[in-house]
């Protein structure tokens, strides 16, 4: 499977301009991707005041994602601010090439920025099927919680759509590799660059990591652009069979 990670410098709180930017970036793609992944809150930047920028599930960004997926014959994923029944969610949308969608609401809300004040947390993981691949989608701060991220022999690729600040770059790099190793899966971490409307600096470091913890594709620091990676389910299963750590994983259920 070929995946493309989009590492942008977003326009603060302007969904229209960001959609235009992404359209230009995707038009310039030289390789066909089976899955294109955007960062967290990819139309606004990490905004904890949701009311002015929230969209609905039939809003402009969802329509843009559907049209883009169908036109490019690919799957798309990224999170945005959604209002539903009067509540706000940091919601990742997965859109397949036929225009069908699935969703994941961020479980762990970043209280150090007050995200938990305005947003409702999710209550269950989301795993999408893409061909023979099983893909678990999570969002940013979820990366710090290994129990929530735990593989129960139910996914092959673990995705983190993020707005992860440069100040915690070492944590980002360490935890992405840890999640890949402990779950015997590929991990894709997608992050932004630039400075947001609150003055927070981001340096990207979007990357794909294999189940042994090796970085197989990445983008240079602070550079806009795409990260392309081809990952192999056969190679993953060969490694899992040769080194079956998964047989000794502890068994428990999420509450």
- Tens of pLDDT, residue by residue over 85-141, are 999 999 999 999 999 999 999 999 999 999 999 999 999 999 999 999 999 999 999
Range of the domain at 81: 2-248
- Contacts of 181-184 with CB under 8 Å at 24 or more apart are 181/211, 181/212, 181/213, 182/146, 182/151, 183/149, 183/150, 183/151, 183/155, 183/158, 183/211, 184/151, 184/211, 184/236, 184/239, 184/240, 184/243, 184/245, 184/246
Question: Would the pTM count as exceeding 0.85?
Answer: yes
pLDDT at 30: 86
Average pLDDT, the chain: 97
Question: Which CATH number goes with the domain that contains 18?
Answer: 3.60.110.10
Asked whether residue 254 is domain-assigned, the answer is no
Q: Does 255 map to a domain?
A: no
User: Does residue 253 sit within a domain?
Assistant: no
Q: Mind listing the pLDDT tens digit for each residue in 22-43? A: 999 999 898 999 999 999 999 9
Q: Residue 28: what pLDDT?
A: 87
Q: What is the largest CA-CA distance in the chain?
A: 52
According to the model, what pLDDT value does residue 254 have?
Answer: 66
Question: Domain tally for the chain?
Answer: 1
**Catalytic residue positions, numbered:** 40, 106, 140
Average pLDDT over residues 204-232: 97
Instruction: Write down the residue that tokens 């326009």 correspond to.
Output: 11
pLDDT digits (tens, 9 = 90+) for 142-180: 999 999 999 999 999 999 999 999 999 999 999 999 999
């Amino acid at each position: 499977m070929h995946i493309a990670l989009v590492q942008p410098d977003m326009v603060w709180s302007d969904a229209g301009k960001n959609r235009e930017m992404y359209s230009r970036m995707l038009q310039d793609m030289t390789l066909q991707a089976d899955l294109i992944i955007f960062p967290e809150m990819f139309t606004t930047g990490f905004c904890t005041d949701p009311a002015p920028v929230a969209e609905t599930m039939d809003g402009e960004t969802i329509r843009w994602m559907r049209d883009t997926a169908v036109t490019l014959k690919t799957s798309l994923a990224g999170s945005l601010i959604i209002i539903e029944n009067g509540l706000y969610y940091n919601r990742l949308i997965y859109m397949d090439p036929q225009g069908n969608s699935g969703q994941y609401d961020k479980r762990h809300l970043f209280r150090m920025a007050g995200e938990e004040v305005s947003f409702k947390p999710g209550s269950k993981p989301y795993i999408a099927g893409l061909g023979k691949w099983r893909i678990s989608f999570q969002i940013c701060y979820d990366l710090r919680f290994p129990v929530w991220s735990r593989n129960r022999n139910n996914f092959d690729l673990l995705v983190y759509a993020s707005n992860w600040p440069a100040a915690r770059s070492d944590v980002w790099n360490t935890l992405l590799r840890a999640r890949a190793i402990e779950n015997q899966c590929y991990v894709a971490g997608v992050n932004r660059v630039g400075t947001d409307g609150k003055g927070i600096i981001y340096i990207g470091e979007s990357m794909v990591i294999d189940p042994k913890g090796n970085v197989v594709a990445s983008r240079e620091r602070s550079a806009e652009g795409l990260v392309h990676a081809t990952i192999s389910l056969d190679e993953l299963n060969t490694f899992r069979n040769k080194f079956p750590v998964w047989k000794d994983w502890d068994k428990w259920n999420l509450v």
